[in-house]
Amino acid sequence: MADKASGFEADTGIAMELQYAPQSKNQNRVSIVLASGLVTTVAALVGVFLLQALAHINAMGLHIPLGAALVGVVASSGYGVASYRLGLRIRRTLLWTILLFQFLAYFGAEYCTFASRPPIVLPGTARPATFPEAFRFNATNMRLRFSGPGPDSEPLGDVGYFMVGLEILGFMLGGIFAPVMLSRHPYCDLCQLYLRRWNLGTIPAGIGGIFRAAARDPEAQTRAYRAADAKLRELARLVAVGDAASLKRELAMLDLPQRKAAALPARVTIELCQCPGCGDGFLQPVLHTGHGQDTKSRPLTKIPMTRQFISTVATTPLERPGPSPSTVAA
C-alpha cells in the first residue's frame, strides 16, 4: 500500500494513524436536540388537545398506558431525528433530561387543559378548584369505558391514581423509545456520526420445513450451521486479502428471499455499516434464531473494511446481478 504514511513509517518506524481529519461539529448540538424535541412535544400535545376538544377522543387515556406511550413516541421524535442528523450520541445525562422534560410536558399539558376550561367548583366547596384539587378530583373520578354499548365503570377512587401514574409512565417511556433505539445504532467515535447501514443478504444456517426429513435430522442442521460458519470465514478471508471481485460475487449469491429465510431455524444476515464521514466501515453479521416474535438476534464478530476497500467492492447499496433470462420469461 503506497500512501502518505509510508514515508513517515520509513523515517520513524511508527505507523501513521492520523489519516482522516474529523470535521468540526456544531457546539450547540445538545441545545438543538432539546429544542427539536420540545417542538415535537408541543405539537403532539396540541394534537392531543385538539382531538379531545373536537372529537372527544382522549388519546392519552386510550388503553392505558398504550395511548400515552404512543403519544410519548410522537412527542419525542424530535429528540431522535435531531440526534441522528447531528450525529449526537445520546448519553445518560441527555436521556435523563429527556425523561424530565417528558414528565414536565405531561403536567404542562394537563395545566393548559385545566386553564382553558371554565373553572369547576368541587362538591362541598364554594370556590373554583385549584389545579392540584382538580387533578386529584379527575384522577379519583376516572371511569373505565368498556367496549360495547354497556355503561362506564363506577369512579375508580384511589385506583385512579395508579391509572394516572401508569399513563405518565407510558408517556415518559414512550419518550425515550427513539433515543434508546438510537443508542444501539452503530456509531463512528472519530467523526461523531451515526453509521449508514445496508442489508446485503442472508446466509442460511439451518434447514426449514417441519415436513422435510433433513429439517428433523440434528446432524443435517449442524452441517447447515457449520456451512454458514465456513461462508462467514470465507467472507472475512476475502476482506483480509483484499479480493474485492470475489467478495462481490459471494455477496451477490446471498439473495435468500426474506420469507424463506424467516422459515429457517437459524440464519445470518450480513449488513454493511459505513461512516458517512471518514467512509470506514465493517460487515456486521447477525445470527437470528427462532421465528416471529420469538426471534432472537445476536451480532457476531465484525469484519472491518477500509473506505478504499468499500469503494472498490461497490457503490452502495451493492448491486446485485439482475434476473436471468429464464426467470424473466417465466
- Binding footprint of Zn ion on the chain (CB under 5 A): 188, 190-191, 275, 277-278
Ramachandran region, residue 290 (left: φ > 0; alpha: ψ -120 to 50; beta: rest): left
Nearer to Zn ion, 137 or 187 (CB): 187
Nearer to Zn ion, 105 or 193 (CB): 193
Residue with cell 373553572: 119
Nearer to Zn ion, 248 or 307 (CB): 307
Work out how close the CB of 278 gets to Zn ion at its nearest, in angstroms, rounded to a whole number: 3
Work out how close the CB of 186 gets to Zn ion at its nearest, in angstroms, rounded to a whole number: 11
Kindly state the cell numbers that stand for 302.
465484525
Cα separation, 240 vs 16, in Å, equals 20
Work out how close the CB of 116 gets to Zn ion at its nearest, in angstroms, rounded to a whole number: 49
**50-54 long-range Cβ contacts below 8 angstroms, 24+ apart:** 52/113
Work out how close the CB of 22 gets to Zn ion at its nearest, in angstroms, rounded to a whole number: 7
Kindly state the cell numbers that stand for 113.
387543559
- Residues in the chain, how many? 330
If you compute the radius of gyration of the chain from its CA atoms, what whole number of angstroms results?
A: 28
Work out how close the CB of 187 gets to Zn ion at its nearest, in angstroms, rounded to a whole number: 9
Work out how close the CB of 86 gets to Zn ion at its nearest, in angstroms, rounded to a whole number: 15
Helix, strand, coil share (%) of the chain residues, nearest 5:
50, 10, 35
State the sign of the Cα–Cα–Cα–Cα dihedral 137, 140, 141, 146: positive
Partners of 257 in the beta sheet?
none
Partners of 281 in the beta sheet?
274, 305
Nearer to Zn ion, 19 or 31 (CB): 19
Nearer to Zn ion, 110 or 280 (CB): 280
Can you point out the beta strands (E) in the chain?
187-188, 193-194, 196-204, 266-274, 281-289, 296-299, 303-305
Work out how close the CB of 79 gets to Zn ion at its nearest, in angstroms, rounded to a whole number: 23
Query: Are the CB atoms for 55 and 48 separated by under 8 Å?
Result: no
Residue with cell 420540545: 38
Query: Are the CB atoms for 33 and 182 separated by under 8 Å?
Result: no
Nearer to Zn ion, 168 or 188 (CB): 188
Nearer to Zn ion, 70 or 278 (CB): 278
